[in-house]
């Protein structure tokens, strides 16, 4: 497969939307970041609303008949089998603290199948994208998952907000080190964690109960980069199930067994 893929209109639109939204995030980073608290005590910044507005404008101009599920504005547009999953700013807390580990995440789903995924970190100018059956790219270069086994591997855990997921998260962070040289991290930006699994920087990411827009784009990046995505118990994963393990495939089964052990300990369903 050539390094430069022939991009579909859907991918081109998603890339344009991510780059334009990225400019908005950059502008906010350079000025005062105005923070407020959401009802669930998570943080919100002005930038995410503006970013989502821009993404929706660009997608609806190109595809007025599609629907968009955005974190800030919910489901909008026509009822359609084509649904865009949009996180206009993933890693809000990092962004609010000026830590350059945040991104825009945009994915297109058609009847449960992920067709397009884009993750863009404007702070590092890292533009990850994938199309179903066409591979994963970082700044127009094809990328693949790592070939490392569990020794010296780095794993991230991305957690949602349910108390049972929070408990499992704590256990995994504490007990997962299968081997002394395995590092476990929570970088606070689920979409980018998955992008780094696709790039081969991380060996795996465990997702515990996030929203579709947090992981849709990243999951496709991992799959198209040659990685493996399964439910926590190793059974086949189906979008939009939000508990899963995404890895380079090499020590996937070891990880599944470890997560199972922790789940049994906690009676996590």
Return residues touching Ca ion (CB under 5 A).
Answer: 71, 87, 89-90, 214
Task: Confirm if 68 and 83 have CB atoms less than 8 A apart.
Answer: yes
Q: Is the Cβ of residue 135 or residue 247 nearer to ligand IPD in the bound state? A: 247
By CB under 6 A, name the one of 142, 148, 160, 185 that touches ligand IPD.
160
Cα–Cα distance, 140 to 39 (Å, whole number) = 39
**Does 52 engage in binding with ligand IPD (CB under 6 A)?**
no
By CB under 6 A, name the one of 158, 199, 212, 262 that touches ligand IPD.
158
Q: What angle do CA 204, 206, 212 make, to 5 degrees?
A: 115
**Does 189 engage in binding with ligand IPD (CB under 6 A)?**
yes
Cα–Cα distance, 107 to 112 (Å, whole number) = 12
Task: Confirm if 128 and 119 have CB atoms less than 8 A apart.
Answer: yes
Cα–Cα distance, 77 to 68 (Å, whole number) = 6
Q: Which stretch binds ligand IPD (CB under 6 A): 14-22, 53-61, 136-144, 153-161?
A: 153-161
Q: State in angstroms the smallest separation of the CB of 89 from ligand IPD.
A: 6
Pairing outcome for strands 135-138 and 82-90: unpaired
Q: Which residues of this chain interact with ligand IPD, rule CB under 6 A?
A: 42, 87, 89-92, 158-160, 188-190, 210, 214
Q: Provide the annotated binding site for Mg(2+).
A: 71, 87, 89-90, 214
């Amino acid at each position: 497969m050539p390094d430069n893929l022939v991009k579909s209109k859907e991918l081109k639109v998603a890339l344009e939307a991510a780059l334009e939204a990225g400019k908005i995030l950059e502008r906010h980073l350079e000025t005062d970041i105005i923070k407020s608290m959401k009802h669930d005590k998570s943080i919100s910044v002005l930038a995410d609303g503006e970013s989502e507005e821009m993404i929706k404008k660009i997608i609806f101009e190109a595809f007025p008949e599609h629907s968009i599920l955005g974190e800030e504005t919910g489901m909008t547009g026509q009822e359609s089998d084509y649904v865009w999953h949009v996180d206009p700013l993933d890693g809000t807390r990092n962004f609010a603290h000026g830590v350059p580990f945040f991104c825009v995440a945009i994915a297109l789903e058609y009847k449960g199948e992920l067709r397009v995924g884009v993750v863009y970190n404007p702070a590092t100018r890292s533009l990850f994208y994938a199309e179903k059956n066409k591979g994963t790219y970082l700044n127009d270069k094809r990328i693949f998952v790592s070939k490392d086994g569990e020794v010296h591997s780095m794993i991230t855990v991305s957690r949602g907000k349910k108390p049972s997921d929070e408990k499992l998260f704590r256990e995994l962070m504490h007990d997962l080190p299968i081997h002394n040289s395995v590092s476990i991290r929570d970088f606070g930006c689920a979409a980018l964690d998955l992008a780094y699994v696709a790039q081969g920087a991380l060996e795996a990411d465990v997702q515990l109960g996030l929203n579709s827009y947090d992981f849709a784009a990243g999951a496709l990046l991992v799959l198209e980069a040659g990685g493996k995505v399964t439910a926590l118990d190793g059974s086949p994963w189906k979008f939009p199930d939000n508990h899963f393990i995404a890895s380079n495939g090499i020590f996937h089964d070891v990880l599944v067994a470890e997560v199972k052990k922790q789940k049994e300990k906690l009676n996590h369903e």
